[in-house]
Amino acid sequence: MKRSVPLAIVMVGGILFMIQYFIPHQHSQTLFEYYTEWAPIVGAFALVLGVGSLTRLHSHKIKRKAKNWQYSYAVLIPLYSIPFFALVMPQSLGGGMMQTMGGDRLTMGVFDFAYMNIQVPIQATMFSLLAFYIASAAFRAFRAKSALATVLLLSAVIVMLGQVPIGELLGKWFPKVGLWILRYPNLGAKRAISLGVGFGVLATQLKIIFGVERNWLGGAGE
Amino acid sequence: MSIWEKMLNVDRRWIFLLIGIACVVPFFTPLGLPILPSQEVISIYDYIEDLSTDNAMFVGFDFDPGTAAENMPMGVAVLRHAFARNVPVFITAYTPLGQGMAGMAIDELTNPATGDYFEYVNWDAWAEIRDQGFTERADIEEAWLAAGNTLPENARGWIFEGRDIAFLGYLPYFHLVILGMSSSIVSQFPTDVGGTPLEEMPMYQDHKSLRDIDLAVTTAGSSACVAWITYGREKIGLPIAFGVTAVMATDYYIYIQSGQIIGQMGGLRGAAEYETLLLDNDYCKNPGKAYIGMDVQNIAHLLIIFLVVLGNIAFFAGGFNKKTKLKGRR
Amino acid sequence: MTETIGLWVGAIFTIGIYSFLYKENPLYRLAEHLVVGISTGFGIAITYTQVLRPKLIEPLANGEQGAWLLLIPAILGLLYITRFFPSVGWLSRYPMAFLMGAGMGVGFPLSMKSLVLRQLEASLTPLYETGMAWDIVLGNIVLVLGTLAALIYFFFSKPHKGPFFGTGSKIGIWVIMVGFGATFGFTVMGRISLLIGRIQFLLGDWLHIIK
């Protein structure tokens, strides 16, 4: 019950739906439709795992007064208050859609406010920090130490110049060569990599279906 | 410590400051250099240019706020094009945060304060016209005008909710949702995000599954876009176009060459190319955010190349490639 | 008013996070934690309004025909909660098995087509056709041979020696380096674009000193 039934479900489901692709009979099609309709419902509950883990982690931190424990409130308060406000003040659940969904810009709900003015700026700014680090890396780590490294460097410089309009001013051929690199040698390299990934994906799928790969079972209730 | 060593050990915060300056100053001294659209972007533009009110497309906001600077202009540009051509658009999202991004894009295009917008007509606002039995786009607009409505001065046209747009939003396990929509869209999205039943929408009545859809544009900051190919294109032959971040763009040229996607907007440059096409063809009055951003990008790229060259000069001139080991902060 | 406050809040967080470049500070730590809380909270709200309410609760509450069948995915989904109780935690494997098994089965033929067959097919492109420009012909040669060479480089079952495997893998690594160079160039563009986006927010949306 603990391991063999889930493994059997995976195997039967996997084989059944693989066959369904090749033999789209009316019955198998109905089964397929049920599956695609139910999957998001089942998947939605998986969020409980994330919420539970976050709550446990941060409430423990607060209880034990661990380092920087005060910040755990910054996780827990929005975690529970945002869904609450979304339900009691559902101005809109579409991010910024104040007017379009019948709302009014002046009466922005807490939900939208938190999304647009806290979540969006914070996430966007955190990602943009990478611009500074890549500049620093360009200066400190990007070395033409060998012939291969020089090729990498040259390719990068040409593509970079090819992508910005000023590149064309510096040399008419920059955009052309830049695009050529992207469309041919880059493509060759990426195709080889993606074929490798593709075979890997297929092998993993088969291994899971046939129960060779069982890591997904986790350790619960061993 | 030699001068080269000192140079290579410079506090990295000086480099941070340099890149900051290089990204701020050009906003005040624009170069205004033209951006020439590439074939990868032109083919998406041409494809949408051939669509009309009888067709329909999907636009997937498959990114989070982290990559919005690159992806948002793409989504906005494609939506602007579709709205201007009255192509019905279904809008979806791969993640919950992506649904918010989609909302912000629609908001930007329907905000009168921008001075170049589309007037959004709520589902309830045109209920009477629906009750009279009008479902065709031209008839709806005619009846709407006849009801005494006039288009505001800076508006480009109307967007009738349920005829021109259906904001479907997010669902988990979206790759399976794509598969499910290949049989029926309503089985996955019984309502739009505002709770309007999809089955009542005229645009749904004309396009009930992905098989009735002419194009899906996915603007993505992760490999979510590949799901559209695997589960949409390969299952039912749905034409796909990519709008992806620059970091991912080089990986996806393989799909252009294999014909699995009709084109790709790669990074801010790709978005700026689409904006250029819209501007040149009078779909908007002013250059978009990506177009302006690319002007700043010029200087930043030159600075990065300068830093690479300078770093290498210091490295080799200081002899660090041989025996001398570079000491100090790294 | 709300919009202005919102812009100020956004700007304070933006500047606060950038201050991290100078030194780690409490505002950055606060932002780091808030982002986790808000995005998960947002996820719960959206998942409820997009999935659970329209696809489960409403059909059941309205007594729609055949809605009782929805109890199956609902019960399966609820089994995820058992993960928090060690004695019955194994039950959480059932919803996972339901999603994974069929998902893999559905995905296998499509992944095969998309990631492998189409790619192999596209690699067999004609090198030359009448009227083709020289740069395209050269490109096609690089593409076909480059793909093959890069594949050889990744093929570890044979030693990279001899005219085929040895030379092939050597050419392969050169092609791969050109590809990585292109990716690095694009990565720089992408990262800078994100910074430009924030500066547009600060100077444009917040301070109104640029368009």
Summarize pLDDT for B119-164 with one digit per residue, the tens: 999 999 999 999 999 999 999 999 999 999 999 999 999 999 999 9
Question: What would the mean pLDDT of A191-198 be, rounded to a whole number?
Answer: 96
Pairing of strands B165-170, B57-62: unpaired
What local confidence, expressed as pLDDT, does residue B323 receive?
60
Min mean pLDDT across A98-102, C69-73, C134-138 is at A98-102
What local confidence, expressed as pLDDT, does residue C144 receive?
96
Q: Which residues of B67-80 are buried (b: 16+ CB within 10 A; e: fewer)?
A: bbbbbbbbbbbbbb
Q: Answer yes or no: is pLDDT of C52 > 90.
A: yes
State the pLDDT confidence band at A27, using cuts at 50, 70 and 90: confident
CA B103 vs. chain centroid, Å, equals 13
Round to whole Å and give the CA distance between B249 and A127.
Answer: 17
Chains near A (3 or more Cβ pairs under 8 Å): B, C
One domain, residues B137 and B226: yes
- Chain B closest CA to C168's CA: distance in Å? 21
Please tell me which of the candidates B24, B249, B258 has its beta carbon nearest to residue C186.
Answer: B249
Tokens coding B258? 């294999």
Question: What would the mean pLDDT of A215-222 be, rounded to a whole number?
Answer: 68
Tokens coding A32? 């397929």
Question: What would the mean pLDDT of A77-100 be, rounded to a whole number?
Answer: 72
**Phi/psi of residue C140, nearest 5 degrees:** -60, -40
- The percent of residues in chain A predicted with pLDDT above 70, rounded, is 89
B191 lies in which domain range? 37-287
- The percent of residues in chain A predicted with pLDDT above 90, rounded, is 70
- Chain A closest CA to B194's CA: distance in Å? 7
One domain, residues B13 and B46: no
Q: Answer yes or no: is pLDDT of A91 > 70.
A: no
pLDDT in tens, B65-81: 999 999 999 999 999 99
Round to whole Å and give the CA distance between B298 and B300.
Answer: 6
Round to whole Å and give the CA distance between C201 and C211.
Answer: 10
Structurally, chain B folds into a number of domains equal to 2
One domain, residues B262 and B311: no
Note whether ipTM > 0.85 here: yes
pLDDT in tens, B240-291: 999 999 999 999 999 999 999 999 999 999 999 999 999 999 999 999 999 9
Question: What would the mean pLDDT of A82-86 be, rounded to a whole number?
Answer: 87
- Chain A closest CA to B162's CA: distance in Å? 12
Question: What would the mean pLDDT of C162-170 be, rounded to a whole number?
Answer: 92
Does residue B257 form part of some domain? yes
Q: Are C47 and A40 in contact (CB under 8 A)?
A: no
Give the total residue count for chain B.
Answer: 330
Does residue B292 form part of some domain? no
pLDDT in tens, B161-184: 999 999 999 999 999 999 999 999
pLDDT in tens, C83-109: 999 899 999 999 999 999 999 999 999
C102–A155 C-beta distance less than 8 A = no
List the one residue out of B296, B300, B294 whose CA is nearest residue B73.
Answer: B294
Q: Which residues of C touch A7 (CB under 8 A)?
A: 97
Q: Are C69 and C55 in contact (CB under 8 A)?
A: no
One domain, residues B223 and B161: yes
Q: What is the DSSP letter of B283?
A: S
What local confidence, expressed as pLDDT, does residue B330 receive?
44
- B208 near C CB under 8 A: no
State the pLDDT confidence band at B239, using cuts at 50, 70 and 90: very high
One domain, residues B67 and B179: yes
Does residue B282 form part of some domain? yes
pTM: 0.94
Question: What would the mean pLDDT of B69-95 be, rounded to a whole number?
Answer: 97
One domain, residues B189 and B316: no
- The percent of residues in chain B predicted with pLDDT above 70, rounded, is 98
Distances (CA, A) of B309 to A141, B99, B277, B300, B302: 11, 42, 35, 14, 11
What local confidence, expressed as pLDDT, does residue A105 receive?
45
One domain, residues B25 and B128: no
How does the average pLDDT of chain A come out, rounded? 88
How does the average pLDDT of chain C come out, rounded? 94
A42–C48 C-beta distance less than 8 A = no
Distances (CA, A) of A154 to B39, B166, B227, C149, C179: 24, 47, 33, 21, 11
State the pLDDT confidence band at A87, using cuts at 50, 70 and 90: confident
What are the boundaries of each domain within chain A? 4-127, 132-196
Amino acid at B123: W
One domain, residues B121 and B264: yes
One domain, residues B152 and B175: yes
Does residue B94 form part of some domain? yes
B188–A100 C-beta distance less than 8 A = no
Cβ neighbours of C26 (radius 10 Å):
11
The maximal CA–CA distance of chain B, rounded, in angstroms, is 86
What local confidence, expressed as pLDDT, does residue A99 receive?
46
What local confidence, expressed as pLDDT, does residue A103 receive?
47
